[in-house]
Amino acid sequence: MPTPPPPNYAAAAALLRDADALLITAGAGMGVDSGLPDFKGNQGFWEAYPSLYGVPFQEMANPRWFTQDPHRAWGFYGHRLNLYRATVPHEGFALLRAWARRLSDNYFIYTSNVDGQFQKAGFSPDRCVECHGSIHHAQPLNGDGDVHSAEGMTVEVDETQLRARDPLPRHPNIQGLPRPNILMFGDDSWDESRTLEQAERLGAWLKAQEGRRVAVVEMGAGTTIPSVRNFGERVLANDPARAALIRINPSAADVPARAPAGRAVSLFVGALEGLRGIDAALSAG
């Protein structure tokens, strides 16, 4: 594999200075600097959860466990819920928040992460699309009912076995055992209503940006499930003269070959390192 070029922070900063609006997009790599696992391949998944060694992530992240073995299902998702609740967003979130304020809070977020870290870092929940749902919300197992906040819902987990202890979680507004409002593999019961409402708000925001310069700052978005990468690339393709793409990824920062010259920048670094580098270039003028 060829050695990636050194990060051109000055070019990224120039695109941000020229922007009228900020579109923040993020995948699992955004949380690594906060200490969160990104499940990069099954080996990475097993390193994070050694008690599940031999069970592929796609198999574990399947709604069937909530009926076949709910203690196992809530052991896995309960551990993640507790982890995300306890995690403090890294400094990069504050840098992005400051950039958004410079643009009079003319921003939106599109993320495949279910961890709620952007909201915890002070971004408005009304300016965020969580395209795979949120672990901080719950729904009925069969999808027949409403989506509710999981605040106050607790799960005690035996971390050595990664199994939930009794009693299993309950929600006052959900009959029977709840499940996280997350899109899983082989999932035909995910209630997407909350995410669709978020997407409608994003669509209205994008329409309001017509004729303006939108800078997409993408961090840690992988290629295996390229939802986030594809979205940012579509925004760039829809207005190549004004939109810009800054892609931050230590191993997959390549931008599309068809991207207009000077409108897309690759930074082959981690999220926090990249955001710090851009911020330093912005401060340097």
pLDDT tens series, the chain, 285 aa: 678 889 999 999 999 999 999 999 999 999 999 999 887 778 888 888 899 899 999 999 999 999 999 999 999 999 999 999 999 999 999 999 999 999 999 999 999 999 999 999 999 999 999 999 999 999 999 999 999 999 999 999 999 999 999 999 999 999 999 999 999 999 999 999 999 999 999 999 999 999 999 999 999 999 988 999 999 999 999 999 999 999 999 999 999 999 999 999 999 999 999 999 999 999 997
Distance CA 12, CA 120 (A): 26
- Using alpha carbons only, what angle is made at residue 14 by residues 10 and 19, rounded to the nearest 5 degrees? 150
pLDDT of residue 41: 72
Is the separation of the CB atoms in 226 and 35 below 8 Å?
Answer: no
Q: For residue 180, what are the β-bridge partners?
A: 138
Looking at residue 80, which CATH number applies to its domain? 3.40.50.1220
Confirm whether 120 is domain-assigned. yes
CA torsion sign, 235 to 26 to 150 to 141? positive
pLDDT of residue 216: 98
pLDDT of residue 77: 97
Confirm whether 1 is domain-assigned. no
Q: Count of domains in the chain?
A: 1
Nearest to 246 by CA among 30, 6, 3, 11: 11
Confirm whether 224 is domain-assigned. yes
Confirm whether 216 is domain-assigned. yes
Torsion angle of C-alpha atoms 39, 42, 47, 52, degrees rounded to 10? 110
Confirm whether 3 is domain-assigned. no
Tally of residues, the chain: 285
Distance CA 243, CA 15 (A): 9
pLDDT of residue 46: 86
pLDDT of residue 256: 93
DSSP string of 55-88, one letter each residue: S-HHHHS-TTHHHH-HHHHHHHHHHHHHHHHHPP
Confirm whether 279 is domain-assigned. yes
Distance CA 126, CA 204 (A): 12
Nearest to 156 by CA among 224, 78, 270: 78
Distance CA 28, CA 182 (A): 15
User: Hunting for tokens 């949120």 — which residue is that?
Assistant: 134
pTM listed for this prediction = 0.96
pLDDT of residue 1: 62
Distance CA 110, CA 128 (A): 6
First CA to last CA distance, the chain: 34
pLDDT of residue 31: 96
Is the separation of the CB atoms in 259 and 76 below 8 Å?
Answer: no
Confirm whether 51 is domain-assigned. yes
Distance CA 192, CA 133 (A): 7
**Residue-number span of the structural domain to which 280 is assigned:** 9-284
Pure H helices in 39-186? 41-48, 57-60, 65-68, 70-86, 91-102, 117-120
Query: For 73-115, how does the pLDDT look when each residue is reduced to its tens digit (9 = 90+)?
Result: 999 999 999 999 999 999 999 999 999 999 999 999 999 999 9
Confirm whether 156 is domain-assigned. yes
Q: Which residues contact 221 (CB under 8 A, 6 or more apart)?
A: 25, 26, 27, 29, 112, 228, 229, 232, 247, 249
Enumerate helices (H) and strands (E) in the chain, giving the number of each.
10, 11
Distance CA 218, CA 131 (A): 15
Nearest to 11 by CA among 281, 284, 215: 281
